Amino acid sequence: MIFYSTNKSSVPASLKKATLEGLAPDGGLYVPSEIPAFSPGELELLQNAPFTDVAFAIAKKFTGDEIPHDRLYAIIEECYTFDTPLHKLDGKTFVEELFHGPTLAFKDYGARFLARMTGYFAEEDQKLITILVATSGDTGSAVAYGFQGIANTRVVLLYPSGKVSRLQEQQLTTAGGNVTALEVNGDFDDCQRMVKQAFMDQDTRRRLTLTSANSINISRLIPQTFYYAWAALKLSKEHSGRKVVFSVPSGNYGNLTAGVLAMKMGFPISHFIAAANANDSVTRYLDEGRYEPRPTIRTLSTAMDVGNPSNFARLQHIYHYNALEMAHDISGYSTPDSETLETIREVYDHYDYIMDPHTAVGYHSLEAWRRTHRTDDPSVVLSTAHPAKFIESIQDALGIEIPIPGRLQSVLDKQKSTTPIDASYRDLATFLETL
Ligand SMILES: *Cc1c(COP(=O)(O)O)cnc(C)c1O
């Protein structure tokens, strides 16, 4: 498969090139030259297939002959050693729990696949690849644990000292092995600036093969189509062939973009709800047809606090820069924090089920859409994080303490290991020289 940049001035890239580059040289995002289609026969064969088989069927259409099929299958088996449960709330409402991976958030699906693809391509070139990432929390932990122990790769994470939660810091600083956490005496913007400078420093780039692992990487997007496809096949079969509606808690809109790819590949999906918090740039675009990004607003669903979502460029490309075409498939809603807390309460009272604030935004948006769209299609809210990651919000909403899952507790018990540095590129360059 060939990939193009959304800015269209870069030369076409292989999956390997697109994965190792992340962003295209012209600053655009890589998109597949064509969206692979599944025939009705292929879909039928996958209807009862386990998650890994659905994932493999999709992945091989994107990898083509760049990776031998037995190796690709092994990679997928290594990535998805945890379950993807569909929790039933009522006859036609389900929560797809995407938080059973090592860092208890859905970013594990993308990061674990990206890590192994990077490792494969690095081995092919006999190179050691250095992944340099600035993080304010969740992406960094998924990357740290995703790349942990992957041969031919090492990760250097920069995070702002004292500006991430204790839980996030533990997740960033305890992976060990090939993962180093740099605790920067500055803020997130300093971390991002330092990483950008490293990418522009020719001396450093001559010595190290640098790549980034942020959410625009195409090898993080592809694996996010797997759980849409698998759930859509399963629920459609159980509901006499009806197509499935997905509500997607969104920040940078990578997750939603992957869903749209799954629908366009032919998996039985009828509609998407783009569920935003108060950061409503895309919600307004879907309603009014004008894209006017605004500064980021801080909310309870922090991982969705994005004023100018990076993957919006991909959505626009897929929908030919036509807001009406996009709005045909996607309805946007924006939920204020007060209603997020209220939703956590309502769902708990009604179904005895605890949702984290991100998932609650998804549920609230689905309910809003259903008030104006009567449908018997089965509907799925993607649950992007485990509620124990947001203990304070759950306590505010429900007044109860929730138990911390074993995996999280063991991370909390580990000894943090960091290298403190100042917020200057000189200090980062000096550190990189020691690698
Ligand atoms: C990253 C994240 C999101 C937003 O996903 P996008 O792909 O950026 O839209 C939602 N919820 C949680 C918990 C996240 O970590």
With 0-12 / 13-18 / 19 or more C-beta atoms within 10 angstroms meaning exposed / middle / buried, residue 61 is: middle
pLDDT tops 80 at residue 71: yes
CA 171 to mean position of chain CA atoms:
17
> What is the per-residue pLDDT for 243?
98
Q: What tokens does 3 get? A: 């990939």
CA 387 to ligand 1 center in whole angstroms: 14
> What is the per-residue pLDDT for 408?
87
For ligand 1, pick from 246, 255, 315, 330 the residue to mutate: most ligand atoms within 8 Å of CB: 255
- Atom in ligand 1 nearest the alpha carbon of residue 224: 7
Residue 306 lies in a domain: yes
For the chain, percent of residues with pLDDT exceeding 90: 86
* Mean pLDDT computed over 9-22: 92
CA-nearest residue, atom 14 of ligand 1: 303
pLDDT tops 90 at residue 332: yes
CA 230 to ligand 1 center in whole angstroms: 20
> What is the per-residue pLDDT for 276?
98
Return the CATH number at 97. Answer: 3.40.50.1100
* Mean pLDDT computed over 15-26: 92
Confidence of residue 257 (pLDDT cuts 50, 70, 90): very high
- Report the amino acid identity of residue 85: P
pLDDT tops 80 at residue 97: yes
Q: Could you report the per-residue pLDDT of 173-189, keeping only the tens digit for each?
A: 999 999 999 999 999 88
* Mean pLDDT computed over 273-302: 95
> What is the per-residue pLDDT for 90?
96
> What is the per-residue pLDDT for 292?
95
> What is the per-residue pLDDT for 164?
86
* Mean pLDDT computed over 85-107: 96
Instruction: Supply the range of the domain harboring residue 310.
Output: 69-106+221-398
Q: Could you report the per-residue pLDDT of 391-420, keeping only the tens digit for each?
A: 889 999 999 988 888 888 988 999 999 999
* Mean pLDDT computed over 208-230: 93
Average pLDDT, the chain: 95
Pairing mode of beta strands 3-5, 30-32? antiparallel
pLDDT tops 80 at residue 56: yes
- Atom in ligand 1 nearest the alpha carbon of residue 252: 8
CA 212 to ligand 1 center in whole angstroms: 18
For ligand 1, pick from 109, 165, 171, 250 the residue to mutate: most ligand atoms within 8 Å of CB: 250
Q: Give dist(CA 204, CA 335) in Å, integer.
A: 44
Residues with CB under 6 A from ligand 1: 105, 107, 138, 215, 249-255, 303-304, 358, 384-385
Q: Give dist(CA 110, CA 179) in Å, integer.
A: 18
| Highest-pLDDT range among 13-27, 79-93, 127-141 | 79-93
Residue 29 lies in a domain: no
**Burial readout 85-96 (b: 16 or more C-beta within 10 A, e: otherwise):** ebeebeebbbbb
pLDDT tops 90 at residue 282: yes
For ligand 1, pick from 252, 253, 381 the residue to mutate: most ligand atoms within 8 Å of CB: 252
> What is the per-residue pLDDT for 130?
96
> What is the per-residue pLDDT for 75?
98
pLDDT tops 80 at residue 210: yes
Rounded to a whole number of angstroms, the CA Rg of the chain reads 21
* Mean pLDDT computed over 254-270: 98
* Mean pLDDT computed over 53-57: 98
pLDDT tops 90 at residue 260: yes
List, by residue number, the catalytic residues: 107
Residue 153 lies in a domain: no
Q: How far is CA 134 from CA 10, 118, 137, in A?
A: 25, 18, 9
- Atom in ligand 1 nearest the alpha carbon of residue 253: 9
Residue 231 lies in a domain: yes
pLDDT tops 90 at residue 38: yes
CA-nearest residue, atom 8 of ligand 1: 252
CA-nearest residue, atom 1 of ligand 1: 303
Residue 164 lies in a domain: no
Q: What is the pTM of this model?
A: 0.95
- Atom in ligand 1 nearest the alpha carbon of residue 359: 11
> What is the per-residue pLDDT for 352?
97
CA 190 to ligand 1 center in whole angstroms: 22
- Atom in ligand 1 nearest the alpha carbon of residue 389: 13
For CA atoms 335, 242, 236, 271, the dihedral sign is negative
* Number of structural domains found in the chain: 1
- Report the amino acid identity of residue 271: H
- Atom in ligand 1 nearest the alpha carbon of residue 356: 13
> What is the per-residue pLDDT for 318?
97
> What is the per-residue pLDDT for 213?
86
Residue 216 lies in a domain: no
For ligand 1, pick from 304, 308, 394 the residue to mutate: most ligand atoms within 8 Å of CB: 304
Residue 12 lies in a domain: no
Q: Could you report the per-residue pLDDT of 340-399, keeping only the tens digit for each?
A: 999 999 999 999 999 999 999 999 999 999 999 988 999 999 999 999 999 889 999 999
CA 253 to ligand 1 center in whole angstroms: 8
Q: Could you report the per-residue pLDDT of 110-168, keeping only the tens digit for each?
A: 999 999 999 999 999 999 999 999 987 778 999 999 999 999 999 999 999 998 888 88
pLDDT tops 80 at residue 215: no
Residue 28 lies in a domain: no
> What is the per-residue pLDDT for 182?
97
CA 221 to ligand 1 center in whole angstroms: 12
- Atom in ligand 1 nearest the alpha carbon of residue 257: 7
> What is the per-residue pLDDT for 139?
86
- Number of C-alpha atoms within 13 angstroms, CB side, residue 237? 14
CA 303 to ligand 1 center in whole angstroms: 5
CA 292 to ligand 1 center in whole angstroms: 21
